[in-house]
């Protein structure tokens, strides 16, 4: 029986699109049960293009109420795995202690955690950075690493050019990771 996967997204949806295209091409053996977004983002349009149920749960002034809403939505969908693909919210402890959640990050963790990983890598003067798929835990990008891919920092790179190359590697890496999960049921 195919594993049930839920996507969480906040942004443009390029990672979600890559995953769903790979699924349609037969590369990922899984059942995608929905996409949840905290913003009225293009990721919701991507979900609709792939006829995937989409759920818009905007952040509320009462964070506890929002945490409860996303928990209940997720619980109703009963995923085996949740994939954070550009979801820019820290999930509540109850959520990550109940559900299996993985995330993509634009650096070679544990280096450069947080929201400005590409900028931080450039500021540090590294010659190689990359992307990581990791388990989500209670920390900020501190969960165990599942897979990584290196990306060379080229002379003249700025945040935009480097981030675009990292995104290309990130899309390939998450697809490969989920393809393996679909075959074995483990990460």
Q: Which residues are catalytic?
A: 105
Alpha helices in the chain (DSSP H): 14-24, 42-49, 63-77, 93-98, 117-124, 159-184
Instruction: Give the Cα separation of 53 and 87 in Å (integer).
Output: 17
Beta bridge partners of 131: 149
Instruction: Give the Cα separation of 137 and 105 in Å (integer).
Output: 14
**The residue count for the chain:** 187
| Dihedral angle computed from the Cα positions of residues 66, 70, 72 and 78, in that order, rounded to the nearest 10 degrees | -170
Residue 107 tokens, joined: 């650096």
């Amino acid at each position: 029986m195919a594993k049930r996967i839920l996507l969480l997204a906040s942004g443009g949806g390029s990672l979600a699109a890559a995953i769903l295209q790979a699924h349609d091409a037969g590369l990922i053996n899984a059942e995608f049960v929905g996409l949840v977004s905290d913003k009225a983002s293009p990721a919701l349009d991507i979900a609709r293009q792939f006829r995937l149920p989409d759920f818009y749960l905007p952040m509320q002034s009462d964070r506890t109420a929002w945490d409860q809403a996303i928990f209940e939505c997720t619980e109703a969908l009963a995923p085996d795995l949740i994939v954070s693909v550009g979801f820019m919210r820290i999930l509540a402890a109850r959520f990550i202690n109940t559900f299996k959640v993985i995330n993509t990050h634009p650096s070679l963790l544990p280096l450069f955690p947080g929201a400005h990983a590409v900028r931080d890598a450039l500021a540090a003067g590294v010659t190689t950075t990359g992307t990581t798929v990791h388990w989500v835990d209670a920390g900020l990008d501190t969960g165990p690493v599942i897979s990584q891919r290196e990306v060379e920092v080229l002379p003249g790179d700025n945040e935009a050019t480097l981030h675009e190359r990292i995104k290309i590697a990130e899309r390939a890496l998450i697809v490969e990771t989920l393809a393996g999960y679909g075959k074995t049921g483990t990460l």
